[in-house]
Amino acid sequence: MVRENQVSTDMLIQPYFVIEGDGPNVPVPSMPGVERVTINSLIKQAKTVHDLGIPLIVIFPVTDDDAKTDDCAAAYSPDGLAQRAIRAVKEAVPELGVMTDVALDPYSPHGHDGLMDEKGYIVNDATVEVLVKQALSHARAGADVLGPSDMMDGRVGQIRTALESAGFVNTRILSYAAKYASSFYGPFRDAVGASATLAGANKYSYQIDPANSDEAMHEIASDLQEGADMIMVKPGLPYLDIVRRAKETFAVPTFAYHVSGEYAMIKAAAQAGWINEEQVVIESMMAFRRAGCDGVLTYYAHDIGRWLASENKLS
């Protein structure tokens, strides 16, 4: 009765790495328990998580090398992998929310989230033009929530304007407003095949310096002013101070991304028998809640859904 926060399935967003073809799913070695899934398998899993009460999934395409070009044109192809996956899920499980990743890293030969100039610098404004096309292609395919994770300046405003003028007035923007240049993204980059293309490069010229907190507040303020409906802090547990500050400052729907490196750390310790996986994950979700999160994007969403469902059966 006196418990201040609850962990529930309706706070969860389940991510999926999606691959082409009808072959078997492909495990991600640095994320035991996570697989890259075909569209057919995605549909089955989407039904399961929907039945567990998870309201939203997010799709990350794992693109083939021939889809990677300097202009990143495959990002907005109406028949691209992401666009087909969105349509397939919305057709099979219409009530399940589908979110997308708006960023160019699966489509660029260098693994960066934007277009690169001759000097190797990521160019903001030209990138935003491509992001707008990508966002519109996701909305046309039926996406409910767009997640710009690229960290270019001004993209939320331009995506919002384009959505409005194309009639997508109900498509939400969950902006990765405070995304840090973090080393916790390593396993994700393995999963989508970006580690090899990035070849040790970093994203410091457009993601936030982990030393900064005021800067995150400026980034969030500008995304909200440009029309973001919800905001994301990323990574998760090491950045709960940012979540708390954001929630107190802006009082908008606030999400955190419990990222791949955080998943891998818990998984590795659990596999070694050093911690109790379920308890550590639930406690982590409680920590997100306590910090002020409305929801959490986590690779553990499906597991948490199962754990909570079996607890409910017991009580």
Query: What residues are labeled active site?
Result: 179, 234
Calculate the CA 17 to chain-centre distance. Answer: 10
Binding-site member from 76, 107, 180, 188 for ligand PBG (CB under 6 A): 188
Half-sphere exposure of 23 (CA within 13 A, CB side): 9
Binding-site member from 108, 127, 149, 158 for ligand PBG (CB under 6 A): 149
Cβ of 144: how many Cβ atoms within 10 Å?
Answer: 20
Instruction: Give the angle 244-245-248 at the CA atoms, nearest 5°.
Output: 85
Cβ–Cβ under 8 Å, residues 26 and 68:
no
Name the nearest CA neighbour of 60 among 96, 116, 23, 103.
103
Q: Using CA atoms, how far apart are residues 156 and 151, in angstroms rounded to an integer?
A: 10
The DSSP-derived string for 145-210 is: EEEE-S--TTHHHHHHHHHHHTT-TT-EEEEEEEEB--GGGHHHHHHTTHHHHHTT---TTTSBPT
Binding-site member from 9, 45, 254, 260 for ligand PBG (CB under 6 A): 260
Q: Using CA atoms, how far apart are residues 247 and 266, in angstroms rounded to an integer?
A: 26
Calculate the CA 172 to chain-centre distance. Answer: 14
Tokens of 282: 């639930």
- Closest contact distance (angstroms) between CB of 75 and ligand PBG is 11
Of 49 and 103, which has the nearer Cβ to ligand PBG? 103
Interface with ligand PBG by CB under 6 A: which range of 32-40, 86-94, 98-106, 277-285?
98-106
Cβ–Cβ under 8 Å, residues 152 and 124:
yes
How many residues touch ligand PBG (CB under 6 A)?
A: 11
Binding-site member from 189, 247, 267, 302 for ligand PBG (CB under 6 A): 189
Query: Is residue 113 within the footprint of ligand PBG (CB under 6 A)?
Result: yes
- Closest contact distance (angstroms) between CB of 18 and ligand PBG is 14
Query: Is residue 206 within the footprint of ligand PBG (CB under 6 A)?
Result: no
Binding-site member from 107, 185, 206, 300 for ligand PBG (CB under 6 A): 185
Query: Is residue 86 within the footprint of ligand PBG (CB under 6 A)?
Result: no
Of 92 and 277, which has the nearer Cβ to ligand PBG? 277
In this structure, what are the phi and psi dihedrals at residue 11, rounded to the nearest 5 degrees?
A: -100, 0
Q: Are strands 115-116 and 145-148 parallel, antiparallel or unpaired?
A: unpaired
Q: Provide the 8-state DSSP code for 114.
A: S
In the window 5-64, what residues touch ligand PBG (CB under 6 A)? none
Interface with ligand PBG by CB under 6 A: which range of 2-10, 99-107, 116-124, 244-252?
99-107
- Closest contact distance (angstroms) between CB of 67 and ligand PBG is 15
Interface with ligand PBG by CB under 6 A: which range of 17-25, 100-108, 132-140, 167-175?
100-108
Of 103 and 174, which has the nearer Cβ to ligand PBG? 103
- Closest contact distance (angstroms) between CB of 228 and ligand PBG is 16
Q: Using CA atoms, how far apart are residues 67 and 225, in angstroms rounded to an integer?
A: 34
- Closest contact distance (angstroms) between CB of 203 and ligand PBG is 6
- Closest contact distance (angstroms) between CB of 284 and ligand PBG is 14
Q: Which residues bind ligand PBG (CB under 6 A)?
A: 101, 103, 105, 113, 149, 185, 188-189, 203, 259-260
